[in-house]
Amino acid sequence: MAAKTTFPALLDTLQQALLSAAEASQKLDAPIPPNDGISLLDVKNELFLSYLQNLVFLIILKMRNRRSGSEDEDEELDNSVVKKLVELQVYLEKGVRPLESRLKYQIDKVLRAADDAKRAEENANVKTNGKVIHDDEDSEEDSDAESTNGVTLKGLEIDDLQYRPNPTSFVRPTAGADDHSRSKSEDGVYKPPRIQATAMPTTTGPREKQDKKPSKSATLDEFVSTELSAAPFAEPSIGSTIVSGGRRSKSEKEKNDERERREYEERNYVRLPKESKKDKAKKGRKDAGYGGEEWRGLGEGIDRIERLTTKKAGSRSVVEKSRKRPATDGPKSNGEQGQHMQKKLKTLDGVRRDRGRR
């Protein structure tokens, strides 16, 4: 734990601070406040001085009340001093500090300019007295003469213009530079930027990402909702949920869709249109097929093997081509049997193509 500050120690600290402030003020030759100074700093000094005065006055009141033993006599005076201290602290925290942070750049610029002027004056005095001092910093400043817009700047000019904006950043590139850059990119090959790499756009959209996600098991959801739940539920009539000729039963999602459809029709007194062939085809592709979800992987594997093993459309072996019957049966026939055979072959080819696409 930190040691408690006593009144004698606090008085000694205040006395030393006042003595140091008095000595510093006596050494100043310039008038207070200066003629061309920053008014914010003057206000800050005045606020700090007033805060110290009120703080010392509050300490004196506390000491006098402690000696006399009567604290009720100067209670109003103590409250007024405390309110004044709070007011000054609010001025410092909410008023001076934000403004000082905004003017920090300008204040640093003025202080740097004053230091540079003082340093230049000292260097001039040294040169006039006939003394030459070689420092590493002076040699670097002399050697690092900057040139802006074709004009060479010496050391003092560089210091004066250190905080100025760079005018070259506002100049647009010339036509020659544009032609040079265009001639480089005329080959048509994409070149990524050197500053920051840019990723090429991909063709995967939200639909492809959704297809890649593993589908949720409706069988497992239905089992959890019916078998593991203690809530009562209504069972449908026997045979009302059997579809596809007894191959499978309606899922919970299909039951909910039918219930919503029926409720909407009863509420609005309208008949919704039936599903189109396109919608049925989409549902057929998404359907689990024979055996439900448990046999879905097996069916997909069989379809993949069939797609890989089936021949391409229109390609027939040499034996099949040799067995192709001609259009004429003989010299006295009209060729009806050959035409029937050609139609039959076309029908078989169409069936094979459909199986390969599936």
Q: What is the pLDDT of residues 22-68, one digit of tens each?
A: 777 766 665 565 666 678 888 888 898 899 888 888 888 888 877 77
Packing angle between helix 252-268 and helix 218-227, nearest 10 degrees? 80
Q: Is the distance from CB of 7 to CB of 65 less than 8 angstroms?
A: no
% of the chain beyond a pLDDT of 70: 56
Q: How far is CA 288 from the centre of its chain?
A: 41
The model's pLDDT over 138-173, given as tens digits with 9 standing for 90+, comes to 444 444 444 444 444 444 444 555 556 566 666 666
ω before 33 within 30° of 0 (cis)? yes
The model's pLDDT over 227-278, given as tens digits with 9 standing for 90+, comes to 787 888 777 788 888 887 777 788 778 888 889 999 999 999 999 988 888 8
Question: What values do phi and psi take at 329, rounded to 5?
Answer: -80, -25
CA distance 61 to 131: 61
- The DSSP bridge partners found for residue 248 are 243
Q: What pLDDT, on a 0 to 100 scale, did the predictor assign at position 336?
A: 62
The model's pLDDT over 300-335, given as tens digits with 9 standing for 90+, comes to 667 777 777 776 666 666 666 666 555 555 555 555
Report domain extents, the chain: 7-102
What amino acid is encoded at 122 in this protein? E
